[in-house]
Structure 1
Amino acid sequence: MSHFATGVAVVTARGAEGDCGATISALSSVSLDPLTLLVCLHRKSATCRAIEESGTFGLSILNKAQQDMAMHFAGKSDGKSFDEYCVQSESGHFFVRDALVQIGVSVVETLRGGTHEIFLAQPVSIGFHPDQGRQPLLYFRGAFDLAA
């Protein structure tokens, strides 16, 4: 699967452990009617637990200049700064500043897939960065692909 280029996004949620975030590449469109997204997270992650508790999360699709954001939210939740890197919407979702797209979603179904939870979610808000000339951050063969 490392030969399949994917976009890079950050999922953020608020749970009993506080604000949590994770860098993901397991994101897909499932359906246009109703509009449904699929996001996969490791079951043991704090971000996964926060989503299970709240039933909602913010999804920030990163641009190719945001490699540092992807690295910041990769790995364990300890020490991840939200004040410096994120903004909170009126709906309460957290998003990475200046992301290409910011989507607030509500979970409609959760499935188990091996070590991961598969969240099927529907957007409740969508925001686009005003600079439409930006390119997405891609992940390919274990590294960020900045050629896009």
Structure 2
Amino acid sequence: MDQPSSAMALQYREAMSKVAAAVFVVTTEGSAGRYGITLTAVTSVTDTPPTLLLCINRNARIQPILRANRQLCVNVLATTQQDVAEHFAGMTSIPATERFLQNEWQNHQHTTQPQLVGALAHLHGHIIDSHDMGSHSVFYIAIEHIHLNSQENQGLVYFQRQFAQTTALTYQTSYG
């Protein structure tokens, strides 16, 4: 028996909460302004050429800004940056206009996009394609510049609607 679509949507969201996901803050700056959003729906498409996929709710305030600016930075958050994730997700009382004032940001020397100091990685790129799928827009991002933070190795994840941290994993191989 088919379930009503709203019940299916609730079940789907609950099922997806069981999937641990890395936490990102996507930022953009340009003629349409400066804005950022916390996302977990970010994934690699291919490494040749380096391309990411982002899924963003069609009602999100960043949509028209991102579409106009076309340039962005995907900041991969470290465990110490949960407050940043909360601010850019709108989980705090910090207004959108003040979110960039709460932590240390710098503009990338080539792309001028805001990047969070101390993030695990910064991936700078531009939108090469997008399409709408249900309640979300899917953006394909061509990556042009990458910075890796070699001093930080613990990532922030989101699991069962809570932030959690990864730990550095070590592997031991035993030979018998």
**TM more than 0.5:** yes
Q: Distance in 1 between matches of 2:79 and 2:31?
A: 32
**1:99 and 1:129 in contact (8 A); partners too:** yes
The yes-or-no answer on 1:19 pairing with 2:31 is no
- The DSSP-based 3-state class of the residue aligned with 1:20 is strand
- The DSSP-based 3-state class of the residue aligned with 1:135 is coil
2:96 to 55, 78, 81: 78
Structure 1 portions without partners, runs of 5+: none
TM-score normalized by the length of structure 1 = 0.90
Correspondence for 2:50: 35
Correspondence for 1:104: 124
Greater C-alpha radius of gyration: 2
- The DSSP-based 3-state class of the residue aligned with 1:99 is coil
Alpha-carbon distance, 1:50 to partner: 1.4
2:159 to 129, 140, 143: 140
Q: Distance in 2 between matches of 1:36 and 1:147?
A: 24
Counting strand residues as a fraction of each chain, which structure ranks higher? 1
In the alignment of these two chains, the number of paired residues is 147
Q: Distance in 2 between matches of 1:95 and 1:101?
A: 9
2:112 to 92, 99, 105: 92
- Name the amino acid aligned to 2:164: D
- Name the amino acid aligned to 1:54: N
- Moved segments of 4+, more than 6 Å: none
- Residues 104-113 or 72-81, more deviating: 72-81
Correspondence for 1:55: 70
Q: Which has the higher contact order (CA 8 A, sep 6+)?
A: 1
Counting helix residues as a fraction of each chain, which structure ranks higher? 2
- The DSSP-based 3-state class of the residue aligned with 2:79 is coil
Q: Distance in 2 between matches of 1:83 and 1:97?
A: 13
- The DSSP-based 3-state class of the residue aligned with 2:139 is strand
Structure 2 portions without partners, runs of 5+: 1-15, 168-176
- The DSSP-based 3-state class of the residue aligned with 2:84 is helix
Q: Distance in 1 between matches of 2:66 and 2:28?
A: 6
Per the alignment, do residues 84 and 68 of structure 1 end up closer, same or farther by CA in structure 2, a change over 3 Å counting?
A: closer
**1:17 and 1:46 in contact (8 A); partners too:** no
- The DSSP-based 3-state class of the residue aligned with 1:105 is strand
Per the alignment, do residues 41 and 9 of structure 1 end up closer, same or farther by CA in structure 2, a change over 3 Å counting?
A: same
- Residues 75-84 or 88-97, more deviating: 75-84
Task: Compute the RMSD of aligned alpha carbons.
Answer: 1.8
Correspondence for 1:122: 142
Per the alignment, do residues 3 and 144 of structure 1 end up closer, same or farther by CA in structure 2, a change over 3 Å counting?
A: same
- Name the amino acid aligned to 2:116: V
